[in-house]
Chain A
């Protein structure tokens, strides 16, 4: 069956489209809003901002997080900053430029209309956050400070030290806490959504598990919003927090929501390499380090000398050599792929030969240690804490790590999935970043969705439903899903195999990073599509989960997430296999320019691949939503 996907993009000129559409959409009058119940799953930047805003408008909101508090969401870890086209520095920034940069940065695989709206509302986000008391960095005159980030040619990134995500999340969390305190939001912490309930084609609620008591419960609503974050942890080792997972969006997918562009993942070039086999996650070092650090390896493969024993003329500053114009500041995907190539040539550095050097010696000579300390002091300290090496004296070692997933649930212009009443916002949807996300744009998108888009668009869906009662939770639609969830949960405890879910997760991660990581090719992807289902079969027979389903049981939480990763991993490989072009973070080795650069194929692949669940992830069916570009000229990226 081919899905009917209507992106519901309004007609009109780009720069007035959203304003006009806000006027055209149906409204729920203020007194009627309390007659609608909305469920928000996930309370990171996207979910907390949405839940707070919806409650302020008057909707009855129920919010859910598996964390013990909304303040723990993974958004807390974002370091660098958030973009907005404020043009406070008069350096030529504008809504159009931010829009243009984002479409181009996404390698022309996103919808112009969505991205333009994002750039437009970026202005309001900074106002909102500042008013909430987010302590953004200031200039001496008291105005907001900006920096340039991720290769942008204008200074549009707002930041709060190296803790921008933390401060923005606390702002959203505190707004949410206010309305929780007022009784306008029912907050469910340590509660994990394990399924979506669909009745007569509409989303009518969710089924959850209370992580402390194990109780499986149903919750009914007029609309359900998923704000559950990204799925980089499918690779096991990533920069994401340990508990980030794909379960919410995957379960929605299994209930009929299309999954768009699953193979678009971003591998961040500046992370600290693994130190041992039991490494549990990778730590990101801010991209800003590339402004002053020089990346190099030895010209000789298998060189065992220490960094400072390798003379200047035997070092290969490979980014500067290959990309004289951009040097160490090439985009994330280019930097990552080149690092991988060096390691594959046997030139990796460090005890496990799994890194490349990022060297500050020249900058320290040129600018002095104090300046470097002022710019990167906290990062250097973090690096030393983890590696026990002092980067003022020896070069840092870095290696790329999975970091962000551009793919996610397919949504229309209203951020609604193809299941009416089911919305996806933040990293959980696929909407705005195309095949590659620019630095400092994820925080922007999460908050744009939650504060300024969803609260408007949801009214358009709800308005005609005025007076419709909630589907009661004893309706078969709920009880059936509840028993499926209960059975599935108990099932894991009955397998009594020999190996932990973590073991299988680690093995799955190895397959994924090898074949569906920084660069991909047909043979590798086909290989992965054989290996993943085989490992999955083993997992289903041999996983060992102890304890009971009626208590706090972290192994039981984990095994269900790993189960969903297996299926998602297969879909990612399938999508990567079918996309026979390179674009953004998706590099198909078969599709490169003569210089070894990613080569797009706009004639055949300028579309969104929206996958439909068929019961077997390896046999998912694709529907193509064509992308057409009216305002941005498609060009081949070049960083020479």
Chain B
């Protein structure tokens, strides 16, 4: 296949950026999207043009490192698929493909297609954990967890932290990411003690960096792990409750 790429090039965080055309010739439909970019980079290198920077690592849809806007869609046209798992057979000979980085104030551009998603770490640091210092746990089977609950928690825990939800959202909101982590932990019995402080801390931290959610639902469509919008509803409910519960807890503590 022969394709034309229009790729976002930006030399650094504060440099101006623009779309640049590159041909991608003799592309095999068997290649993954990132392998296609590898070849383009190989050719650019040979011509003395600096290769296109893009993040990636596992190339099997689990590390959450890859993430490109492909023709305006986060992770491209195939549903439930991260960029690294997308294959060129989903495109046609002669296509023009526009490739851009995630664009969101919460994700500053590092270079070209690579962005800085460390704001996600800040949200987890605020409360996305269960406090259990090493060695303090009791026997695992002392806490029973209904199978359905474990499965539901796992559905939320499947989030790979790629940021497609933010990139796809017209408001650049991070509700789906944040809600998935809150649901993962707060659905489990182990997560109950910190349930109300967690949701408050994480939502407040999220709002420092990201826009607000107006229920477009684009995030769910873009999510390579097909994480459900229902978790956002759960988070909102818990957040409201937490406002009362946390205050009561504090007043009890005197």
Contacts and interface: CB of A to CB of B under 8 A. Distances in A.
B63 A72 contact: yes
B146 A74 contact: no
B111 A551 contact: yes
Interface in A178-194: 178, 180-181, 187, 189
Interface string B100-126: 000000000011001011101100111
A559 to B, nearest CB: 11
A472 interface: no
A166 B138 contact: no
B60 A283 contact: yes
A131 B158 contact: no
Interface string B111-151: 10010111011001110111111111111110111110011
A139 B150 CA distance: 10
Interface residues of A, number: 78
A136 interface: yes
Contacts of A534: none
A174 B129 contact: yes
A74 B57 contact: yes
Interface string A122-142: 001011111111011111111
Given A137-B150, A546-B51, A130 B144 contact: no
A546 B11 CA distance: 13
A49 B57 contact: no
B64 A72 contact: yes
Given A137-B150, A500-B45, A555-B45, A144 B129 contact: no
A555 B154 CA distance: 37
A128 B134 contact: yes
B188 interface: yes
A555 B49 CA distance: 12
Contacts of A503: 42
Interface stretch (A218-226, A272-280, A629-637): A272-280
B59 A241 contact: yes
Interface in A238-270: 241-243
A241 B128 contact: no
A330 to B, nearest CB: 26
Interface stretch (A63-71, A107-115, A394-402, A618-626): A63-71
Interface residues of B, number: 76
Given A142-B145, A212-B110, A132 B135 contact: no
A167 B157 contact: yes
Contact of A144 (B63, B141, B191): B141
A271 B101 CA distance: 31
A546 B48 contact: yes
A242 B57 contact: yes
A386 B87 contact: yes
Interface in B48-91: 48-51, 53, 55-65, 81, 85, 87, 89
Main secondary structure of the interface of B (DSSP, over half): loop
B33 to A, nearest CB: 11
B175 interface: no
B126 A181 contact: yes
Contacts of A77: 58, 60, 62-63
Contacts of B143: 130-131
B17 interface: no
B32 interface: yes
Contacts, number: 214
B254 to A, nearest CB: 24
B138 A127 contact: yes
B128 A177 contact: yes
A639 interface: no
Nearest to A161: B154
Contact of A71 (B30, B46, B51, B161): B161
B49 A138 contact: no
A279 B111 contact: no
A279 to B, nearest CB: 7
Interface in B153-204: 153-154, 157-158, 160-161, 184-185, 188, 190-191
A589 interface: no
A163 to B, nearest CB: 7
Nearest to A243: B57
A170 interface: yes
26 contacts: A67-B57, A67-B65, A68-B116, A72-B57, A124-B135, A132-B129, A133-B153, A133-B184, A135-B184, A138-B146, A138-B150, A140-B147, A143-B144, A166-B62, A175-B129, A177-B124, A180-B125, A181-B126, A242-B57, A276-B30, A278-B39, A280-B35, A283-B59, A388-B89, A546-B48, A552-B111
Given A133-B130, A283-B60, 15 more contacts: A53-B134, A69-B118, A72-B65, A77-B58, A77-B63, A140-B147, A142-B146, A173-B124, A181-B125, A275-B30, A280-B59, A385-B81, A546-B49, A547-B50, A552-B110
Interface of A: 49, 52-53, 56, 67-69, 71-72, 74, 76-77, 86, 88, 124, 126-133, 135-144, 160-161, 163, 166-167, 170, 173-175, 177-178, 180-181, 187, 189, 212, 241-243, 275-276, 278-281, 283, 382, 385-386, 388, 451-452, 455, 498, 500, 502-503, 544, 546-547, 551-555
Which 8 A-B pairs give the minimum distances between C-beta atoms?
Answer: A142-B144, A181-B125, A131-B137, A174-B129, A130-B140, A53-B134, A275-B30, A127-B137
